[in-house]
Amino acid sequence: MKWVKRIVVVCVLLIVVAVVAVYLSLNSIVRSVIQRQASASLGVPTTLGSARLSLVGGNVQLDDLLVSSPPTFSAPQIFSLGGIAVAVHYGQLTGEPIHIQQITIDHPALVIEQTGGTLNLKSLMDQMPQTPQTSGGQPTQPIKLVIDELDLNGAEVTFMPGIPGLDDKMQVSVPSLTLKNIGNADGSENGAAIKDVIMQVATALASKGADGAKLPPEVKMLLSGQLGGISQQLGADFSKQVSGLTGSLGKQVPGNVGNLINNNGQGAIQQLFGGSDKNAKK
């Protein structure tokens, strides 16, 4: 009966190899889809270091999401997100919009600079989105997200010289920040484009960082005006949320910088795997 045992062992090994291959393929697909969707939505190159789905379900881990600066700005990246933990029911990944319970982002870094009288955040907001494509080059629908809670931990905001009134680079830590109900204005659950999600997070961090920094008054006024304009572009519900932001800058900015609460949370930025991407490669 030894030959029977050997056949069983070989079959088990083949199954394990197949499961691992499918798992790695799914991770590659998720990473590829996120990169293409984010780059198209933001209008600037965006890369993702890795994506890992939990085999037991309900969690996705993303690492090193890097958003390139718009043209004419000096920093290679305007925004980088270190570790992104996404909590989601896998069955909701194919929904429209995709519903995510929680996202936790660790160690995000934002660079604020100005060229030609315009902040890089404003320039990024004005970048024209493109039509996302599958790995085969076919146009596909942009992904929209509803996120119940998004938590940021250990963020750093860097204000670059060149902003009027700021002669030296200034780095400010933002220990924690929470935004809620992204893509769910007034309970409509229409979903937010990836660009809107990134812009809400970045604008919230910029506002909170400026609020906690010892910036000259003219710098705070400049940020107040441009952040308020971005907030209004992101919609009335988003603008309303700034009323919950405490601090001197929050009282000046005429629009909100996120549904913003100094808080903590656990979370996740769940994403997307849509059809037609089975040939995506890491």
Q: Tokens 């920093």: give the residue.
A: 75
Residue 13 lies in a domain: yes
The reported pLDDT for the residue numbered 224 is: 78
| Lowest pLDDT segment from 116-120, 222-226, 241-245, 263-267 | 263-267
Residue 248 lies in a domain: yes
CA 201 vs. chain centroid, Å, equals 7
**Confidence at 57, pLDDT banded by 50, 70, 90:** low
Q: CA quadruple 125, 205, 120, 134: dihedral positive or negative?
A: negative
Residue 267 lies in a domain: no
Residue 11 or 200, more confident: 200
Phi, psi of 255 (to 5 degrees): -150, 170
CA–CA gap between residue 106 and residue 282 (Å, rounded): 23
Query: 179 with 201: CB under 8 angstroms?
Result: yes
The average confidence (pLDDT) of the chain is: 76
Residue 210 lies in a domain: yes
Kindly compute the dihedral angle of the four CA atoms of residues 93, 272, 183, 81, in this order, to the nearest 10 degrees.
130
pLDDT mean over 71-80: 94
Residue 216 lies in a domain: yes
| Lowest pLDDT segment from 10-14, 82-86, 182-186 | 10-14
Residue 106 or 15, more confident: 106
Residue 279 lies in a domain: no
Residue 159 or 14, more confident: 159
What are the E-state strand segments in 8-143?
46-53, 59-68, 77-87, 98-106, 109-112, 114-115, 118-119
User: For residue 193, what are its two tokens?
Assistant: 């484009």
Closest CA to 127 of 41, 231, 63, 56: 41
Closest CA to 209 of 148, 281, 121: 121
Q: Tokens 């933990």: give the residue.
A: 85
Residue 126 has pLDDT above 50, yes or no: yes
Number of domains composing the chain: 1
For residue 81, give its domain range. 2-261
Residue 270 lies in a domain: no
Query: 114 with 164: CB under 8 angstroms?
Result: yes
Residue 266 lies in a domain: no
